[in-house]
Amino acid sequence: MEVEINNLNIDVDKVGYNDGLNFGRFIENKEVVNYTLKLSKNQFLTVIEADYNQIRDEIKVDDEAMNDTSEFSEVGYCSLEDLFTKNAAFSDIVKTYLGRLLLEKVVIPQENPKYIINSIGGAKVEGNALIIYGKAFVT
């Protein structure tokens, strides 16, 4: 995994994430920066595919029971690999359902990180890489 803050590569050990209920809320007196996390497709699949499958299957049951639609129904409850080709849906599903799970699995807790990831703005596929991006604050 690679991490960038404001388009500059940084050491992964300088990054943590907010695992609290205030994820996505920013404190006024904290400096806010842009971050990107870059993973290969294989890394992403290894880390999150089982969670994706479970969430997708649960949403499908709910959609059918409630005669409803969801981000998953709009892409035919496809596999995670197939979702890579559907950029807008990929971003929405990562942001809404997978983002915090992904952070929990790939960002190793640090005692005093310099940057705290505090939001997920979206995700995109670029070649063989998956990019997760959003805002972080400086500690």
Q: Which two tokens stand for residue 15?
A: 């990054």
Q: Are 10 and 136 in contact (CB under 8 A)?
A: no
Residue 24 has a pLDDT of: 87
Residue 66 has a pLDDT of: 95
Cβ-based burial of 76 (10 A; exposed 0-12, middle 13-18, buried ≥19): exposed
* Cα–Cα distance measured from residue 12 to residue 132, given in angstroms and rounded to the nearest whole number: 14
- Say what the pTM is: 0.90
Residue 106 has a pLDDT of: 94
Residue 129 has a pLDDT of: 96
Q: Are 72 and 93 in contact (CB under 8 A)?
A: yes
Among residues 47, 21, 6, 40, the alpha carbon closest in space to that of 136 is found at 6
Q: For residue 40, what are the contacts with CB-CB under 8 A and spacing of at least 6?
A: 128, 129, 130
Residue 108 has a pLDDT of: 87
Q: What are the residue ranges spanned by the domains of the chain?
A: 2-138
| pLDDT one digit per residue (tens) for the chain, 139 residues | 999 999 999 999 999 999 888 898 888 888 999 999 999 999 999 999 999 999 999 999 999 999 999 999 999 999 999 999 999 999 999 999 999 999 999 998 888 999 999 999 999 999 999 999 999 999 9
* Cα–Cα distance measured from residue 64 to residue 60, given in angstroms and rounded to the nearest whole number: 6
